[in-house]
């Protein structure tokens, strides 16, 4: 496998292989260096975590890194993403990490490029590297996925994180439930919808999603969302003893989650970000070494 575009490409064996590499990297047991190789990072939608952690992961692996933002590239003159990627390939890039807004666009480019492509989030489509770091964080806590109850809560309709995670978690044997407002239901998810009050009492992992105001026509009221659908302190007090809270971030503090809970005992939100560097190192290494 040359590209990572969707979690649907990864068997459970491949997911566990990436986790094994990540654990070895964490323990300082791997010293592979991609000397002489170039990574190109194309972020055409905003990003803090994914962009920065890919940069750090690439540098830790010894890659030279080229950053291309939408506004300072020839994409602004109408050059297509495909021609941009072919250009990067022609000048020597070995891997391109791409965030952009059109679902399916990167897949259509992938057929005819020789460099490795990594989907760093495509609009409301998929976010496979976020999913892998989420899964890695869950595995750190529970070791296995079989029988775990994961509730994915929030703006499902616009969430690439939810789409990638729902697929992967079910494939790995977890029971996945969804919590959302009626207008954010989406046919790509199962019909296992529960309320936030049911979720906090039943789930082992509560995966909160950011409300994607930028993709909405109508603004959602922050205070009423927290009270009706979010994780308040009162709801958190009803969670299982060893249950954990995930959120891909950026977090709308006081909307999806009470601000004080972001850094609480159950929260793994900043741990997810740290794991993002390790998992992205594992992905790049596995793709460049042809191990997937």
* Residue 249 assigned ligand-binding role: yes
Sign of CA dihedral 43, 45, 50, 56: positive
User: Least distance (Å) from ligand CP to the CB of residue 127?
Assistant: 6
Whether 160 has a binding-site annotation, put simply, is yes
Contact assessment for residue 137 and residue 272, using Cβ atoms and an 8 Å cutoff? yes
* Min dist. Cβ of residue 249 to ligand CP (A): 5
128 is in an annotated binding site: no
Closer to ligand CP at the Cβ: 30 or 249? 249
Q: Specify the residue, 113 or 169, whose C-beta has the smaller distance to ligand CP.
A: 169
Determine if residue 34 is labeled as part of a ligand binding site.
no
3-state secondary structure of 84: helix
Dist. CA 283–CA 130, nearest whole Å: 11
Decide whether 177 or 272 has the Cβ nearer to ligand CP.
Answer: 272
Specify the residue, 157 or 280, whose C-beta has the smaller distance to ligand CP: 280
Nearest distance in Å: CB 281, ligand CP: 16
Is 210 annotated for ligand binding? Answer: yes
Token pair of 261 as six digits = 């809970």
Judged by CB, which is closer to ligand CP: 194, or 249? 249
- From residue 35, alpha-carbon distances to 21, 61, 260, 288, 292 in Å are 19, 8, 43, 11, 20
253 is in an annotated binding site: no
283: part of which helix (H) or strand (E)? helix 269-288
Q: What are phi and psi of 73, to 5 degrees?
A: -120, 175
Whole-angstrom distance, CA of residue 125 vs CA of residue 158: 8
For binding to ligand CP (CB under 6 A), which residues are involved?
Answer: 47-51, 121, 130, 248-250
- Burial status of residue 141 (CB atoms within 10 A of its CB: 0-12, 13-18, 19 or more): middle
Query: Which of residues 62 and 250 has its CB atom nearest to ligand CP in the complex?
Result: 250
Shortest spacing between CB 97 and ligand CP, in angstroms: 11
User: Contact, 121 vs 99, CB < 8 A?
Assistant: yes
| 250 is annotated as contributing to ligand binding | yes
Question: Shortest approach of ligand CP to residue 120 CB, angstroms?
Answer: 7
Cβ at position 250, least distance to ligand CP in Å: 6
Q: How many Cβ atoms from other residues are within 10 Å of residue 237's Cβ?
A: 8
> Could you give the CA distance from residue 55 to residue 114 in angstroms, rounded to a whole number?
21
Which amino acids are annotated as binding site for L-aspartate, given as ranges? 77, 160, 210
Which amino acids are annotated as binding site for carbamoyl phosphate, given as ranges? 49-50, 99, 127, 130, 249-250
Which amino acids are annotated as binding site, given as ranges? 49-50, 77, 99, 127, 130, 160, 210, 249-250
């Amino acid at each position: 496998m040359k590209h990572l575009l969707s979690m649907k490409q990864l068997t459970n064996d491949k997911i566990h292989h990436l986790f094994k590499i990540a654990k070895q990297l964490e323990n300082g047991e791997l010293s592979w260096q991609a000397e002489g190789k170039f990574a190109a990072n194309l972020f055409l939608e905003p990003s803090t975590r994914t962009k920065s952690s890919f940069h750090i992961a690439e540098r830790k692996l010894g890659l030279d890194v080229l950053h291309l933002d939408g506004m300072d590239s020839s994409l602004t003159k109408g050059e297509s993403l495909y021609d941009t990627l072919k250009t990067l390939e022609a000048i020597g890039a070995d891997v391109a990490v791409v965030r952009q807004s059109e679902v399916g666009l990167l897949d259509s480019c992938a057929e005819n490029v020789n460099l490795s492509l990594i989907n760093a989030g495509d609009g409301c489509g998929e976010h496979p590297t976020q999913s892998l770091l989420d899964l890695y964080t869950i595995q750190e806590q529970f070791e296995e996925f079989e029988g775990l109850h994961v509730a994915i809560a929030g703006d499902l309709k616009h969430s690439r994180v939810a789409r990638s995670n729902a697929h992967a978690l079910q494939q790995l044997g977890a029971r996945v439930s969804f919590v959302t407002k009626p207008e954010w239901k989406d046919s790509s998810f199962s019909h296992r919808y529960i309320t936030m009050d049911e979720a906090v009492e039943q789930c082992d992992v509560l995966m909160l999603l950011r409300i994607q105001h930028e993709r909405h026509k109508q603004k959602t009221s922050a205070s009423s969302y927290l009270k009706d659908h979010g994780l308040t302190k009162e709801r958190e007090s009803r969670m299982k003893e060893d249950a954990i809270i995930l959120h891909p971030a950026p977090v709308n503090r006081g909307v999806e989650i009470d601000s004080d809970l972001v850094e609480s005992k159950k929260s793994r939100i900043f741990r997810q970000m740290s794991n993002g560097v390790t998992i992205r190192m594992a992905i790049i290494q596995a793709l460049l070494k042809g191990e997937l």
